[in-house]
Every structure is written in structure tokens, then in C-alpha cells.
A and B are shown apart, each in its own frame.
Chain A
Amino acid sequence: MSVRARVANWPLAWKAPLLAAGLLIGVAFVISQIVLNRLESDQENNLRHLTSAYLDGLSTAVLRSAIHADVWETFDALDRARDRYAGLKVRFAIVVLPNGKVLAASDPLKFPVQSPVPADVEERFPAQDGLIIDTASGRAWLTRSLREEGYSVGRILAEIDISELLRVRRQVLLTLVAVNAGLALGFATIAYFALRRMLKPLSVLSGYVERVRAGRADPIPESERQHISREFDLLFDRFNAMARALNEHEELASHLAGQEKYAVLGKLASGMAHEVNNPLGGLFNALDTLRRHGDDAKVREATLNLLERGLTHIRNVVGSTLVMYRREVAESALRPVDIDDLRLLIEPEASRKRLRIAWVNDLHGVSPVGIESVRQVVLNLLINACAATPVGGTVHLRARATESWLMIEVGDEGPGLPDDLAKYLVGHSDEAPGAGRGLGLWIVRRLVADDDGEIRVIQEGGLSTLIRVTWPFCENLSRFESAKDSVSAEAIHAE
């Protein structure tokens, strides 16, 4: 994640005070620069004025003695000037004769009388009258010509210690930094708490929105709405209205799902009744035959076989229904026969519409997936396929599995799944189908999503609609292994 993206993820309660502090620091920096520049400029001007006054006084004092090359008077003037200009820290002052030799210096040991000025000292001073300031070394160098009636009689060279000025400058800078840092910190702290207080309703709202994402649309209670601004009050009202609408929608959907389940159940019951009823007629005929021709061993044997087949058929139908709706096997692993059972459940409907069922079950062994949800999904898809396929058409089922997933496809030859239902089914749209449409699909989508499965609606092999559902195998295989044993013990599958 880039720094920019990371910063963008910071909470507003952090970003806003940091921004305020940043702006404050920026303003403080600019103001500090202005103050320091002004201070530097003022100090330089003051230094120029002070050094100018010093040189004016000194040049007047030493001019006569320079003309007469009077060592003592020159030295005396330089020595007295040192005390007189105590505000100016003169490190040394030299009166240099036109021949470049020292007439007298305030520090005679360093610059003896009549010695030449050392080159490294001479080069620091301005060639003409003026001032050079070097902040790095904390020194300033002055030159002033001594002239009498237009003739040069010498020069005054003086080195000034300006470290005190620089110290004051540093002190001002430190004061500015300390004050500005304190102000920035103080204001940032105030801004942090103020914004945190102001944004508290936002975090409350965010928490309740997060609950909606988790499936609970709780309205924000009154206790959370104390001392909030009008904007947030309105926002909370709108959120509560939305939460109520969501709850109502959820309730309605659950209710309709229940209705749909009952409808499916009714359809199944009707089919089952039909399945049971069909052999019943034959069974009664068989009973009548037995009653009348029971003495005939051949007839009796044939009739008993008929009775057995009829009763086996009824047992299979009842057994499949039991498997379908027994909750205790909900988490058992899926076996090939669990899919084949479904064929028995839709056969009545298929027979009624004279539909052909193209059934390809390539499953071998157990598949670690939720049996109840898989069977419920496939049954719903098969019922929908039967409903969609015109009389005399074919309904397709194909089941197969790899090492990590189970895939079941159900196809029909109907007019095709409407776009909105198809989009809803595959999860590209959250807009639930309208009343009376696709409630079975709503259950399919929900069950598959719960098992982290995937639904695809595709056109393949000339079918109008082919729905392919893929379930990943559950990682907890041991659970399914034990469940598999218990299912075997049940022995209620159709054989």
C-alpha cells in the first residue's frame, strides 16, 4: 500500500488535527522566517550604524597622530576607544600607515609597531571603506581610510566580534521554534478533541452501518443522539428510516421464502400423492386378483411381485422425502445416491408434462459439502427447469466433482431465464426479484452464498438456460467422514 493510500486510510479524527497542526507549522515557519529576516536586517543596520559611529570617533581621534606618525597617541586613542565603545566588541583595531606598516594596534603584541599587516589578516578586510560580515565565524571586518586634505594618511582596520548578535539571533530562533511548536501542539490537541467530539456521531453511524453489513439493521437509539448537531440528527433520522425499511424488507422476504417453501412442499406432496396413488390402483387390483385367483400359484406369484414393486416404489418415494427433510443429516457428506434421490422427487412433475430427464451423475464416493443445502438448491433448480421446459421437452442434470469442488449443472429448454433474474442469481445485482417471481432463486442464491459456492448462468449445448453451481469442499473433512458413517447407518436412501 502506498504512503498516500495509507494516509488516506487514516481516521478523520487524526487527519484533521494533523492538517491543522501542519498548516499552523507552515504559518509559524513563514512568520519565523519573516521575523528572523527582519531581525537579521535590523541587526546588520544596527551594526553598520554602530561601527560607523565607532570609526567616526576613532578616525577623528587618530587622524592627527597618524599624520605625525605618533605611536603613543595612536595607541592611546585605540586603547581608550575600546572602553568607550564597550557595546561593540572590538577584537583588535590597527592603524596602518600608507606604506602598509602598522603605526599602532590595540594589540601591540599581535601587531607590533612598524611591522607589516599579515597577509591573512589583510585579506579579510574590505579593500575600500566598508563592512564585511561573516556569520560562520561570528566576525565582522571594517575598513576606514584616514584622509587629510585629499591625501591618504593611513587606514583603520578593525575586527569586531558579532557572536553576541548571532547568539541573540539563535535565541530568537529557538524562542520562535519553542513557542510555535507549543502553539502547534496545543492547537492540534484542541483540534483533535474538538473534532473527535464533533465526529463522534459519525463513528456511531459508521458502527450501525457496519451492523447492517453484518446483517443487522438496528436503528440508532435515542441515547446515542444526545448533544449532536442538526445535520447529524437529520442523518440519523434517515438512517433509522432506512434501517426500518430494511428490516421490513427482510421480514417480507423471509415470509415469502416460507411461503415458497410451503409451495414447494405442496408441489412435492401433490407429486408424492400422485406417485403413491398410481401404484395404489394396481395394488388394489392385485389384492382383488389375489382374492379371486389366489389359488393359482403362477397368478399369485406374479401378483405378489406386482405388489412388491408397487410397495417398493412407494417406499422409495417416502424414503427420499424423509432424506430431504430430515434435519439431523444436514451436515452429512454428499453421496452420489443423494443426487439420484432427487430424480424420484421430480419424476411425478416430469411425468405430468411428459418430460424426458437427461440424468448424468458422475459422482463417486462422498463429497464434503452440505448435503441439505446442495439437495435443496438442486431440487429448486430442477423444479424450475421442469416448470420452464415445454411439454415433451428435456430437463438436464449433470453432477461431477474434483478433489476440491462439486459442480452440478441443471439445464432446461424453456424460454430462457430473464436477465434480471439471471443477474440476481449470479450476484451481479442486489435487486431482489419482484413479488411472485424467482423466490426459489432467492433461496438458491442464499444457500449457495452461505456455502461460499458460485452460480453461473450460461448458454451451452443448445439449452436455453444452463445453471452451473459450484461448491468448494469443506476443509473439515473429518466432520463429513463421521457424518458419512451415520448416513450409511440410516439406510433410508432409494435403492
Chain B
Amino acid sequence: MHAFSDPDSTSGFLVTRSLLALRHTTPAQFFRTFFFTYGHRNVVRAVATGLAESGSIDGYVWDVMREREPELINKTRVVYTSEKLGFPPIVGLKSAQETMTAKAISAAFLEMPTDPLGQQILSILELDGFTKADPDLYQGTLEKWLLVKAQA
């Protein structure tokens, strides 16, 4: 019995799915049952309560929960950690890249560490800040997606 986070999640589904694809199998074949909880925290809940025997979750969420909900996290243990992959990006349309709105939104994210309200938000999210990244950062994710797609 395995709990996935979300079919559109990299860490909550794609990573595990791609590992199974490498073994030429699928979740339906490998697990007796699996289900989606549509939330990384719910995966921890499902495993901690015994509903699922295993689950796929984002490492960032697991780290945050270890601080905030240790009683729940302590009922789980990490059995596998994937290689580091790019954090879920905030993306926009290329055609609108130069608009005032896009620039304002981009500036809001990038300047968060210097803004008092931004600092509060980052503190809640337990992030240092947002930065401009190269598309190559997501090459690993792309490869996994392609692997799974090829199997399908």
C-alpha cells in the first residue's frame, strides 16, 4: 500500500514512478494498492497512521514538517532519497515577459529578502528567497518525465 502525493508532483509521484520504470514496472504492478492524497502532508499522515505502508513526498516538505509536526514525522522514516532536483519553479508566458505585471511579480519574488513582508512570507515558507534559474536546473526532472512517458 503506497501513498503518492499528486500525479503532477515531481517528488510526490514522478521520482518513484521513474524508478519503477527503470525496473520496467508500474505502480499498479509493483504495489498491492496505491492512492493519491493530493498533498505532501497527507502522505505523511497516511504513512504515520498506518493507512499506507510507504509514500512519496517532497524532501522540503518533510524537513519543514520535522520541525513543525515532529509527532507525525517521528512515525515515519526515510527509506530512499533521490538526487537533488530543481525546486518547483514559478513560470510565466514568454510573450508576457516584458510586461509591467510580469516585471512587478518577478521583482516582488526576487526582492522578498529585503522587504519586511517578504521576510515574513519567506520565514513562514522556511525559504531563503527566490532567484532566477537556468532551465538546465530541471534537466533531471525532464529526463525522468521522458522515461516514464516512453514506458507509457
A104–B33 touching, CB < 8 Å? no
Question: Contacts A71-B51, A113-B51 given; 7 further ones with Cβ under 8 A?
Answer: A71-B33, A76-B37, A76-B45, A104-B51, A108-B49, A109-B49, A112-B1
Per the 8 Å Cβ criterion, residues 103-124 of B in contact with A are none
B51–A72 touching, CB < 8 Å? yes
- State in angstroms the CA–CA spacing of A75 and B50 once bound together: 11
B1–A72 touching, CB < 8 Å? no
B42–A76 touching, CB < 8 Å? yes
Which residues of A have CB within 8 Å of B3? Answer: 72
Selected contact of B46 from candidates A70, A75, A112, A114, CB within 8 Å? A75
Instruction: Answer yes or no: A218 CB below 8 A from chain B CBs.
Output: no
- State in angstroms the CA–CA spacing of A75 and B37 once bound together: 10
Per the 8 Å Cβ criterion, residues 444-491 of A in contact with B are none
Please list 5 pairs of residues, one from A and one from B, whose beta carbons are closer than 8 Å in the complex, sorted by A's number: A70-B35, A71-B35, A72-B38, A79-B45, A112-B50
**The 9 A-B residue pairs with the shortest CB-CB distance in the complex, in nearest-first order:** A109-B50, A108-B51, A108-B50, A71-B35, A72-B37, A72-B35, A75-B51, A108-B49, A113-B1
Q: How many residues of B contact A (CB 8 A)?
A: 14
Q: How many residues of A contact B (CB 8 A)?
A: 13
Q: Which of B42, B45, B49, B51 has the most C-beta atoms of chain A within 10 angstroms of its own C-beta?
A: B51
Which residues of A have CB within 8 Å of B35? Answer: 70-72
- State in angstroms the CA–CA spacing of A104 and B36 once bound together: 14
- Nearest-Cβ distance from residue A277 to partner chain B, whole angstroms: 138
- Nearest-Cβ distance from residue B53 to partner chain A, whole angstroms: 9
**Which B residues are closer than 8 A to A by beta carbons?**
1, 3, 32-33, 35-38, 42, 45-46, 49-51
- Nearest-Cβ distance from residue B32 to partner chain A, whole angstroms: 8
B42–A72 touching, CB < 8 Å? yes
Which residues of B have CB within 8 Å of A70? Answer: 35
- State in angstroms the CA–CA spacing of A113 and B47 once bound together: 13
- State in angstroms the CA–CA spacing of A335 and B3 once bound together: 128
- State in angstroms the CA–CA spacing of A70 and B3 once bound together: 12
Which residues of B have CB within 8 Å of A71? Answer: 33, 35, 51
- State in angstroms the CA–CA spacing of A75 and B33 once bound together: 15
Which residues of B have CB within 8 Å of A108? Answer: 49-51
Which residues of B have CB within 8 Å of A75? Answer: 46, 49, 51
- Nearest-Cβ distance from residue A408 to partner chain B, whole angstroms: 113
| Proximity bits, A85-122, B CB within 8 Å = 1, else 0 | 00000000000000000001001110011100000000
Which residues of B have CB within 8 Å of A79? Answer: 45, 49
| Proximity bits, A42-76, B CB within 8 Å = 1, else 0 | 00000000000000000000000000001110011
- State in angstroms the CA–CA spacing of A79 and B46 once bound together: 10
- Nearest-Cβ distance from residue A16 to partner chain B, whole angstroms: 67
- Nearest-Cβ distance from residue B75 to partner chain A, whole angstroms: 11
Which residues of B have CB within 8 Å of A109? Answer: 49-50
Which residues of A have CB within 8 Å of B33? Answer: 71, 113-114
A72–B46 touching, CB < 8 Å? yes
- State in angstroms the CA–CA spacing of A108 and B55 once bound together: 15
Task: Give the residue name and chain of the B residue nearest to A105 (CB).
Answer: B51
Per the 8 Å Cβ criterion, residues 167-221 of A in contact with B are none
- State in angstroms the CA–CA spacing of A485 and B42 once bound together: 125
- Nearest-Cβ distance from residue A301 to partner chain B, whole angstroms: 151
Which residues of A have CB within 8 Å of B32? Answer: 114
- State in angstroms the CA–CA spacing of A79 and B42 once bound together: 11
- State in angstroms the CA–CA spacing of A235 and B90 once bound together: 112
Task: Give the residue name and chain of the A residue nearest to B32 (CB).
Answer: A114
- State in angstroms the CA–CA spacing of A108 and B51 once bound together: 5
B49–A72 touching, CB < 8 Å? no
Which residues of A have CB within 8 Å of B42? Answer: 72, 76
- State in angstroms the CA–CA spacing of A108 and B33 once bound together: 14
- Nearest-Cβ distance from residue A90 to partner chain B, whole angstroms: 15
Q: Which of B3, B33, B35 has the most C-beta atoms of chain A within 10 angstroms of its own C-beta?
A: B35
- State in angstroms the CA–CA spacing of A71 and B3 once bound together: 10
Which residues of B have CB within 8 Å of A114? Answer: 32-33
- State in angstroms the CA–CA spacing of A205 and B33 once bound together: 98
- State in angstroms the CA–CA spacing of A75 and B43 once bound together: 12
A72–B36 touching, CB < 8 Å? yes
- Nearest-Cβ distance from residue A77 to partner chain B, whole angstroms: 12
Which residues of B have CB within 8 Å of A107? Answer: 50
Which residues of A have CB within 8 Å of B45? Answer: 76, 79
Which residues of B have CB within 8 Å of A112? Answer: 1, 50
- Nearest-Cβ distance from residue A91 to partner chain B, whole angstroms: 15
- State in angstroms the CA–CA spacing of A79 and B37 once bound together: 13
- State in angstroms the CA–CA spacing of A70 and B42 once bound together: 14
- Nearest-Cβ distance from residue A213 to partner chain B, whole angstroms: 89
Q: Which of A70, A104, A107, A108 has the most C-beta atoms of chain B within 10 angstroms of its own C-beta?
A: A108
- State in angstroms the CA–CA spacing of A114 and B53 once bound together: 13
- State in angstroms the CA–CA spacing of A114 and B35 once bound together: 13
Task: Give the residue name and chain of the A residue nearest to B46 (CB).
Answer: A72
- State in angstroms the CA–CA spacing of A210 and B108 once bound together: 115
| Proximity bits, A276-287, B CB within 8 Å = 1, else 0 | 000000000000
Q: Which of A70, A72, A75, A104 has the most C-beta atoms of chain B within 10 angstroms of its own C-beta?
A: A72
- State in angstroms the CA–CA spacing of A76 and B50 once bound together: 13
- State in angstroms the CA–CA spacing of A12 and B33 once bound together: 84
- Nearest-Cβ distance from residue B74 to partner chain A, whole angstroms: 16
- Nearest-Cβ distance from residue A125 to partner chain B, whole angstroms: 22
Task: Give the residue name and chain of the B residue nearest to A104 (CB).
Answer: B51
- Nearest-Cβ distance from residue A71 to partner chain B, whole angstroms: 5
Which residues of A have CB within 8 Å of B46? Answer: 72, 75
